[in-house]
């Protein structure tokens, strides 16, 4: 006859961590610890995590995920706490989530996602430059370029493209187009000193030199702008269903054709966002605000956000805050140039939170997601199947 397992409440673990455990609870905890080295390891990591000062915020979706994980791991509780969990129970789940996701010594076998990923590499600096006359130049880390056009010197060193005014611009504005492929990124400095970071699958059309009473560019995809200030000549970004007008500021625009919403996130200064189909509809943004344009209805709304989540890509990070797996894989597929297939549509709605390195090995990213026990991955060629 097998020995009956000790049933323990997670609040007992939390009170042990906070030195508020009673004598009876201490005895129950001791019995639980003696049953398995895994229990001892769990408590040790929980205490270490707490004493390092971490206090993560727990969303409803993370809490639900935590309870499902506890059941699968066979860690028993003597009562059910209704959602949303608050206070002590939420803090304990926060510790559990950190341990199971971020400590690497899990017993899960990750071989299934490590065998076929050698050829999947993160994106890199690459772009195609199209001149006004239709000439095409391939820009990569191994190629340099130095040409003159429209009164400007155009220079590339493989990871950035820079325009410098040399002569008076031509009477008729000449335009260049910079196209970033899937799995690419590139940095651009315009003739007025404005800096632009372009993300994967992005196209920017711009004049070689600015002239007249405005500085206007056209964007499809995602880019971060650090606009050179000129109070007399506003800088305007046209992107799908919106137009953003600034004098000198820092902001990010995500305007991919396949997305139903255009996002503009302000980091510094102020911007004015206008709906193209109805110029009278507009929103003025201040730092830490984001506008959302519904492409179908043309409506503009705004909200307060942490801008870092939306601009971290240019700093070499992926930051996901309670985002669906469908949204996350859409971002990763652009950067790693892969195709993603979900075995069931419902899997797209599972939510995750994480801060990951943009240049990490793709397999490492998948392993971190897989360790949550929510999904598993299989890989064949450049196609990732999620089940």
Class of domain 111-119+317-386: alpha beta
pLDDT at 68: 57
Position with higher pLDDT, 17 vs 114 = 17
Sequence-separated (6 or more) residues with CB below 8 Å from residue 77? 7, 8, 9, 10, 70
pLDDT at 5: 61
Dihedral angle sign, alpha carbons of residues 59, 65, 68, 72: negative
Residue 105 reports pLDDT greater than 90:
no
Residue 201 reports pLDDT greater than 60:
yes
Q: How far is the C-alpha of 109 from the C-alpha of 106, rounded, in Å? A: 8
Report the predicted TM-score, pTM, of the whole model to 2 decimal places. Answer: 0.72
Architecture per CATH, domain 124-310, reads as Sandwich (2.60)
Using one digit for the tens of pLDDT, what is the confidence trace for 166-178? 877 666 789 999 9
pLDDT at 110: 52
Identical fold at 111-119+317-386 and 124-310?
A: no
Sequence ranges of the domains in the chain:
10-102, 111-119+317-386, 124-310
Terminal-to-terminal C-alpha distance of the chain: 38
pLDDT at 84: 37
The 377-380 sheet, strands edge to edge: 339-342, 383-386, 377-380
Q: Worst-scoring range by mean pLDDT, 47-51, 94-98, 119-123, 189-193?
A: 94-98
pLDDT at 58: 46
């Amino acid at each position: 006859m097998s020995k009956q397992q000790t049933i323990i409440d997670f609040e007992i673990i939390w009170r042990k961590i906070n030195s508020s455990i009673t004598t009876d609870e201490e005895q129950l905890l001791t019995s639980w610890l003696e049953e398995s080295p895994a229990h001892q390891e769990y408590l040790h990591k929980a205490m270490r995590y707490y004493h390092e000062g971490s206090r993560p915020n727990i969303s409803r979706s993370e809490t639900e995920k935590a309870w499902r994980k506890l059941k699968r791991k066979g860690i028993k509780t003597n009562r059910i706490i209704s959602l949303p969990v608050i206070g002590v129970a939420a803090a304990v789940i926060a510790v559990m989530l950190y341990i199971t996701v971020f400590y690497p010594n899990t017993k899960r076998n990750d071989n299934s996602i490590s065998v076929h990923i050698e050829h999947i590499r993160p994106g890199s600096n690459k772009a195609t430059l199209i001149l006004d006359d239709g000439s095409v130049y391939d820009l990569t880390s191994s190629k340099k370029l130095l040409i003159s056009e429209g009164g400007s010197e155009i220079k590339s060193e493989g990871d950035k493209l820079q325009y410098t005014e040399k002569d008076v611009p031509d009477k008729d504005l000449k335009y260049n187009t910079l196209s970033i492929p899937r799995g690419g990124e590139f940095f651009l400095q315009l003739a007025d000193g404005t800096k632009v970071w372009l993300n994967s699958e992005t196209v920017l059309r711009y004049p070689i030199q600015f002239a007249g009473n405005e500085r206007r560019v056209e964007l499809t995809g995602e880019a971060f702008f650090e606009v050179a200030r000129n109070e007399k000549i506003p800088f305007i970004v046209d992107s799908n269903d919106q137009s953003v007008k600034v004098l000198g500021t820092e902001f990010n625009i995500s305007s991919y054709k396949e997305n139903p919403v255009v996002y503009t996130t302000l980091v510094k200064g102020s911007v004015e966002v206008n709906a193209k189909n109805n110029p009278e509809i507009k929103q003025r943004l201040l730092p830490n605000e984001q506008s959302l344009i519904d492409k179908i209805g043309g409506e503009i709304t705004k909200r307060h956000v942490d801008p870092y989540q939306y601009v971290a890509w240019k700093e070499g990070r992926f930051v996901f805050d309670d985002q669906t797996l469908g949204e996350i894989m859409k971002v990763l597929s652009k950067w790693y140039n892969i195709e993603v297939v979900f075995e069931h549509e419902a899997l797209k709605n599972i939510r995750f939170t994480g801060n990951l390195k943009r240049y990490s090995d793709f397999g490492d990213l998948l392993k971190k997601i897989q360790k949550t026990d929510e999904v598993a991955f299989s890989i064949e060629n450049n196609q990732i199947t999620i089940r």
